[in-house]
Amino acid sequence: MIDWLKAEVRRIGNTTKWSWEGWVSAWAREKSLRQWVLVNVLSAALAFALDLTPGERALILALGLLLLAAELMNTAIEEVVDYISEEIDPRAKRAKDAGSAVVAVTAIAGGVAWLVVLIG
């Protein structure tokens, strides 16, 4: 039991380390991630400044975090595609464009949530 617990703690520690390294790398290289973080900070501040229900606030905050996750996934797709080949290929373009579309759709979802919360 103790060995299992030690292994799990080590696994969680490694996962945390690798996740942090991924964040730091993306932060250093991706201007769009830094821009979305700024948007999220402003959105969160507004969500706490306005008289929203806990559910509305949770939705806004969760969608903001989901947007950051989408941006990180887009970064991962771009890195892998560029690693495989820097040649222009229509499949590589489609993969990168689809990753970008994930970010756009997630941002639209956040915008729709804000619109519904503010109008409703």
pLDDT of 110 strictly over 90: yes
Cα 46 to chain center, whole Å? 19
Global pTM reads 0.90
Q: Cβ distance 114 to 67 under 8 Å? A: no
Please give the positions annotated as active site. Answer: 71
What pLDDT score was predicted for residue 33?
98
At residue 116, the pLDDT reads 97
Q: How far are the Cα atoms of 30, 84, 90 from residue 87, in angstroms, in the given order?
A: 21, 9, 10
DSSP string, 49-114: HS---HHHHHHHHHHHHHHHHHHHHHHHHHHHHHHH--S--HHHHHHHHHHHHHHHHHHHHHHHHH
pLDDT at 21 over 90: yes
Alpha-carbon distance of 68 to 56, in angstroms, equals 19
Residue 87 confidence (pLDDT): 87
Q: Is the dihedral of CA 8, 14, 15, 17 positive or negative?
A: positive
pLDDT attached to residue 65: 98
* Binding residue numbers for ATP: 11, 30, 78, 96-97
Q: Which residue numbers belong to the known binding site for substrate?
A: 11, 57, 71, 100
pLDDT tens by residue, 43-98: 999 999 999 999 999 999 999 999 999 999 999 999 999 999 888 999 999 999 99
> What domains sit in the chain, N to C, each tagged with a CATH number?
32-119 (1.10.287.3610)
Listed as own residue / partner, the contacts of 59-63 with beta carbons closer than 8 Å and 24 or more positions apart are: 59/113, 59/117, 60/110, 60/113, 60/114, 60/117, 63/106, 63/109, 63/110, 63/113
